[in-house]
Chains A and B, each alone.
Chain A
């Protein structure tokens, strides 16, 4: 074993870092908006200068859910491919830069429209609320840019396969390609509604829009979107965390199987976001509910693999008893502890997800702030803490610096404060939601309705939690800036674990893309064709656009 660390090529590193700068600037802006929201909703604070709650809410959703995630994921996946499939070719690196600039221009365009208050339509932009056409155009450019980058990732993988015939693709590269393919298929829906419905309509070329079709296309995209966020976190859990703790990956084959299952089952499930809406036959809703539950299976596999890895490592270090291995884990290493907090949050997060998707049970929580509490556990804890845990070694690796002991300690404090803040905020959101408190709403007592007055203490608890989370974001930004510009020069490892020598080679069937994409397409057609035709054949007169903010 050579001791020299495998380093990512400097030019690749520069391209990846460009993505991470945008991601962390987004974190700063989006986090500040989040703080303002919880303060407004506590009823104690009003926004200055006539800024609307809903404008801030639109910024928060767009910049965190769409911009931060997409930039981070594309940067991280390019890094993973460069690390495991070899330095990117000049052509692929240029493709990465082209994708980056396209996305950035799109982001600036959409952000400008939101700041001018021409697009306070939230990140779901449901028609017939009608934003300025430049907002939709900006979002289109973000998606097109991400397509360019994902095409670059696929090209890098194809190149590696040609150079290494008969060998299974490196695991991190394989996983990145699964996520890129998932993204291509998922974004077809949002691209269709924006290009064929919302753009022509907002430009005044057509008067009316079919609302049900637009929502269905959005949610065809909206659920796999959350798996596009989650899979890079799973890449870290499966491949990076075992190396960080000094153990071995549990099973390369099961990891690949889990990713293929995510590809297949994450798309034909969008109706579980539309369970309480008119115009869709409840039997078709139930079919998609079944498919939604299928997507829990690869997460169950992942949970097993993680804890098996931890236990095997602990026992190899001499741990005794049923839970003795817990003590052997490297709790003082932020690269492990911060993502681990994210893993724990996925237990209530996943359970909440099954509740939300449970057909008629959805009516209890639909559009209540319970849902906001749910996805602040999944995306805003599980996924984002894993991203932070990755950034804490990836940024110094890319900038030729090291994560110092001091920064490591600060990073652990960051993770713990996040857990504390989120327990307050998400816990209070879940509780208020069960009492009926709505999501996406500014402070209101609804004419001093007794029920609404009961919600206010929970909103104050959310403000407390949100303020702690904002402090945690500041810590995260301090660490990021330190690692990018000020930390001592040196070599930080890009940890990649290998499968144990005894493990069988993964079957070549996992890289039979025609098979998996074919099954995915077949399931999508099964789940959507008939209800979609119904929606078009039985469509009411379309809706005119409204600008009500």
Chain B
């Protein structure tokens, strides 16, 4: 192997190891894992299964987050279709679908996950900036896919 090629590959592989270390430490030490909820649900009985029988925002006590925000996705809408969250709240999103695969993206945040029939998707996020956030479907789900959205309003505490 050429001397310069060795230098190049040591530098390149070193960079890859550095990148992997950064995301590895973030994932396993700081707990920043991608949404990977392992809970399942009967996709035909979403409306009868807690917590999806009562979609919407709920205050919770004694947990690492302040609120649980439950969504049911179906072609081509989310329930609820508008939510108000107090500024600074730490919110756990809990989402499932009644039909096909949907996306669940809160634009401008790191909340971005696949929602698949039979599975529950979860992600915790804190909303520090007031304003209107668009929730949209970013996985093709049929003719009305681009009409599938919901809104989150982050409001100052009264």
What is A's interface to B at a CB cutoff of 8 Å? 52, 54, 57, 120, 122, 126, 128-129, 211-212, 215, 251, 254, 274-282, 285-286, 289-290, 293-294, 296-297, 300-301, 304, 308, 354, 358-364, 366-368, 435-436, 438-444, 446-447, 449-452, 538-544, 546, 548-549
Interface string of B100-140 (1 = CB under 8 A from A): 11010101101111111111111000000000111011111
Q: Report A-chain residues with C-beta under 8 Å of the C-beta of B144.
A: 548
CB contact under 8 A between A304 and B5, given known A282-B36, A368-B138? yes
B84 within 8 A of A: no
Instruction: Provide the bound-state CA to CA distance between A538 and B43, in Å.
Output: 14
Assembled-state Cα–Cα distance A193/B99 (Å): 20
- Residues 74-114 of B, flagged 1 when their CB comes within 8 A of A and 0 if not, give 01000000000000000000000001110101011011111
Query: How distant is the Cα of A549 from the Cα of B119 in the complex, in angstroms?
Result: 23
Cα-based distance from A354 to B13 in the complex (angstroms): 13
Listed from nearest, the 10 A-B pairs whose CB atoms lie closest are: A548-B142, A540-B118, A436-B107, A540-B40, A438-B138, A444-B146, A277-B114, A278-B119, A367-B138, A282-B33
- 16 pairs of residues in contact across A and B, judged by CB atoms under 8 Å: A126-B100, A129-B100, A278-B115, A278-B122, A279-B37, A289-B23, A290-B20, A300-B8, A308-B4, A360-B110, A435-B108, A440-B138, A442-B145, A447-B149, A549-B142, A549-B143
**A363 touching B113 in the complex, CB below 8 Å, given contacts A293-B19, A304-B8, A548-B100:** yes
Q: Inside 8 A of A439's CB, which chain B residues have their CB?
A: 138
Contacts A366-B112, A451-B108 given: A543-B36 contact, CB under 8 Å?
no
B28: which A residues are within 8 A, CB to CB? 286
| A360 & B143 in contact (Cβ 8 Å cutoff) | no
> B residues within 8 A CB of A254?
1, 5
Interface string of B1-42 (1 = CB under 8 A from A): 110110011001100100110011011100011111111111
Q: Say whether A297 contacts B9, CB under 8 Å.
A: yes
- B121 proximity list for chain A (CB < 8 A): 277-278
Output the residue of A122, A276, A289, A543 with the most chain B CB within 10 A. Answer: A276
Q: Is B156 part of the contact surface with A, judged by Cβ < 8 Å?
A: no
Take A285-B36, A540-B43 as given contacts and tell me if A211 and B117 are in contact as well, using a CB distance cutoff of 8 Å.
yes
Report the bound CA distance from A52 to B142 in whole Å. Answer: 10
Contact B105 A367 (CB under 8 A): yes
Q: What is the bound-complex CA distance between A210 and B81, given in angstroms?
A: 29
| A residues less than 8 Å from B145 (CB atoms) | 54, 440-442
Instruction: Tell me, rounded to whole Å, the shortest Cβ–Cβ distance linking B139 to chain A.
Output: 6
Say which residue of B111, B112, B149 sits within 8 Å of A367 (CB atoms).
Answer: B112
Whether A546 pairs with B100 at a CB distance below 8 angstroms is yes
Complex contact A362–B101 (CB within 8 A)? no
CB distance from B93 to the nearest CB of A (A): 12
For A452, the chain B residues whose CB sits under 8 A away are 107, 134, 136
Give the number of residues in B that approach A within 8 Å (Cβ atoms). Answer: 67
Query: Contact check: which of A275, A294, A451 meets B133 at CB < 8 Å?
Result: A451
**Given A129-B142, A276-B113, A360-B26, A367:B38 Cβ within 8 A:** no
Inter-chain contact A451/B36, CB cutoff 8 Å = no
B141 interface residue (CB < 8 Å to A): yes
By a CB distance below 8 angstroms, the chain B residues around A539 are: 40, 118
Q: Judging by beta carbons under 8 Å apart, are A281 and B142 in contact? A: no
**B112 and A281 contacting across the interface, CB-CB below 8 Å:** no
A279 with B112: in contact, given A300-B12, A438-B103, A442-B146 (CB under 8 Å)?
no
Which chain A positions have C-beta within 8 A of B4? 304, 308
Q: Which of B2, B19, B28, B32 has the most CB of A within 10 A?
A: B19
Q: Report Cα–Cα, A368/B106, bound state, in Å.
A: 11
Indicate if the CB atoms of A546 and B136 lie closer than 8 Å: no
Q: Which residue of A lies closest to B146 (CB)?
A: A444
Question: Within the complex, what minimum Cβ distance (angstroms) separates A544 from chain B?
Answer: 8
The interface centre, meaning the residue of A452, A540, A542 with most chain B CB atoms within 10 A of its CB, is A540
CA distance A548 to B35 in the complex (A): 27
Given A54-B143, A548-B99, residue A354 in contact with residue B108 (CB < 8 A): no
Interface centre among A278, A279, A363, A449, by most B CB within 10 Å?
A278
Min Cβ gap A399→B in Å is 39
Is the beta-carbon distance between A275 and B9 smaller than 8 angstroms?
no
Contact with B151, one of A294, A449, A538 (Cβ below 8 angstroms): A449
* Interface check B147, CB cutoff 8 A: yes
Q: B32 CB to closest chain A CB, in angstroms?
A: 5
